[in-house]
Structure 1
Amino acid sequence: MCGRFANDIPVDELVEYYSAVVNGELPDPSWNIAPASRITTVLDGRDGLRHIAPAQWNLIPTWSKTPQLTYPTHNARIESILDKKTFSRSAETQRCIIPASGYYEWDAKKHPHYFTNPDAVPLSIAGLFTWWRADERQTWALTATILTRESTGAAAAVHHRMPVLVATEMIQPWLDRDTKAQDIIPLVSAKGAAASARLSSWQVKALKGDGKKLTVPDDSQNQLLLSPENDD
């Protein structure tokens, strides 16, 4: 799963990296982004341009009459998105990327671990989006979900699920509305596993508040080993 992530990537870097234009007021940098928050998304518009736009991190399917669903939609399993009514339409033509500096996963002992790219390149997390409104009197709202897959490699030692990363060469076909979903989904998932294997990770302290300090390695265990009462 992916229940928290960080994004402090400067907007000008996102514009250059994704060859996109900014559309709307993007959320401020944060190192503790939670479901239902405003997040930054990258998507291809019907106008032929690639947009960087703010969205709500909880996908609301277009057929829903209310934004309050009875089940969480901040994550979706990539293995079943074409079979689920909530996600299938978006999987066909409304695929997006959620850029991130890194993300967190919790191990079996409830300790958070931070995953990030060692060369500081943005993480391109695979997502789906919808444009939703309850009726014609309301304005359209952009909503999104993060896709997850079975964990592999070092990530599997922390949690059994992990976000699907879109490899650099997969960005264009993933966002392209004309790309066949049944072709791109398994390919992005497989290449995402390889991209995840190159990430660096470490345990961090409990996520409280916000700030870059949340991504600092938790060296408390090393401190315990070096404490005076453990000296011979």
Structure 2
Amino acid sequence: MCGRFTLNSSSEALANDFELSDVPLLAPRFNIAPSQDIAVVRENDAGVRECVPLRWGLIPYWSKDPKKSNAPINARSETAATKPSFRQAMARRRCLVPATGFYEWQAVKGGVKQPYLFRPRDQGLFAIGGLFELWRGEGGEIIESVALLTTEANAVVGKVHKRMPVIVARGDYARWLDRENCETASVEDLFGPSADDLLEACAVSTKVNNPRFDEPACVDGL
């Protein structure tokens, strides 16, 4: 599961990494939590990449009431293409979620859970594979939402948790975002765990347990 992540990068770096012509001014985020709006990169109807805010927690298009919807924050990459909640999104609405790190928790003695921050060794940007959906209400209300894809953990993350986000390499962005490619089998090779030397792990303060605490101290190592 991926239930918290960070995005503390400049808009200029975001534009360069994701080849965006227009990027909204984003405040640094150190503890992004479910139900919040997150930055998402996708192709629009004209085939142009855009960065837009979507709600984290996917509401299926067929849901009758978004307030009662399960709104999963993650989708297992191994089964997303066959699950009713994700099947159409996997074929037609793939996206990228820019990030600079993500958190996982490890159980330690006394029932306490120690949070760890996983981030690239170069402390740069990376992209999590995502699926987005559009829900339309009878009264004209529109909600766009997103779920993050997960896969088996690599050796680094696996010491703390058995799952990790699907990390899409920069050279695969175009293939992943291509809305004209509805053959999900053609992108399944992207679902494996990232290389073991990509990420480093850092124990951080339990302050990140509180989703309202979104400060630079979240990413400070112990």
Q: Please, what TM-score do these two structures have when normalized by structure 1?
A: 0.86
In the alignment, is residue 84 of structure 1 matched against residue 83 of structure 2?
A: yes
Match of 1:154 among 150, 153, 156: 156
Paired with 2:197 and 2:147, the residues of 1 have a C-alpha distance of 22
* Equivalent pairs, count: 213
* Superposed structure 1 runs of 4+ greater than 4 Å apart: none
Question: 5+ unaligned residues in a row in structure 1: which ranges?
Answer: 219-232
Task: Tell me if structure 2 keeps the 8 A contact 1:165–1:196.
Answer: no
Measured after TM superposition, the shift of residue 136 of structure 1 is: 4.9
Please state which structure has a larger fraction of its residues in strand: 2
Structure 2 match to 1:135: 138
Residue 42 of structure 1 aligns with an amino acid whose one-letter code is V
TM-fit CA distance, 1:27:
5.4
Pick which of 204-213 and 75-84 moved more: 204-213
Q: Distance in 1 between matches of 2:29 and 2:104?
A: 17
Matches within 5 A, 1:150-189: 150-179=152-181, 180-184=183-187, 186-189=188-191
- 3-state DSSP of counterpart to 2:167: coil
Give deviations 1:139-191, integer Å, cap 9, x for gaps. Answer: x322101111111211111001111100111111001112321120x21112x
CA RMSD of aligned residues (A): 1.7
For the 8 Å contact 1:27–1:54, the answer to whether it is kept is no
* Residue number in structure 1 paired with 2:115: 112
For the residues of structure 2 that align with 1:149 and 1:26, how far apart are their CA atoms?
A: 31
Q: Which amino acid aligns with 1:127?
A: G
> What is the deviation of 1:69?
3.9
Gaps (5+ residues) in structure 2? none
TM-score (norm 2): 0.90
Q: In the TM superposition, what is the alpha-carbon distance from 1:194 to its structure 2 partner?
A: 3.0
Counterpart in 2 of 1:198?
Answer: 198
Give the match for residue 215 of structure 1. Answer: 219
Residue equivalent to 1:57: 56
Counterpart position of 1:227: none
Instruction: Report the structure number with the largest CA radius of gyration.
Output: 1
Kindly, what percent of the aligned residue pairs are identical? 32
Task: Say if 1:167 and 1:112 are closer, same or farther in 2 by CA, change over 3 A.
Answer: same
C-alpha distance 22-68 of structure 1, shift in aligned 2 (>3 A): farther
Distance in 2 of aligned mates of 1:65 and 1:213: 40
1:131 Cα deviation from its structure 2 partner: 1.7
Q: 1:124 aligns with which of 124, 127, 142?
A: 127
- Tell me the distance in 1 between the aligned counterparts of 2:99 and 2:36: 14
Asked if the contact 1:26–1:40 (Cα under 8 Å) also holds between the matched residues in 2, the reply is no
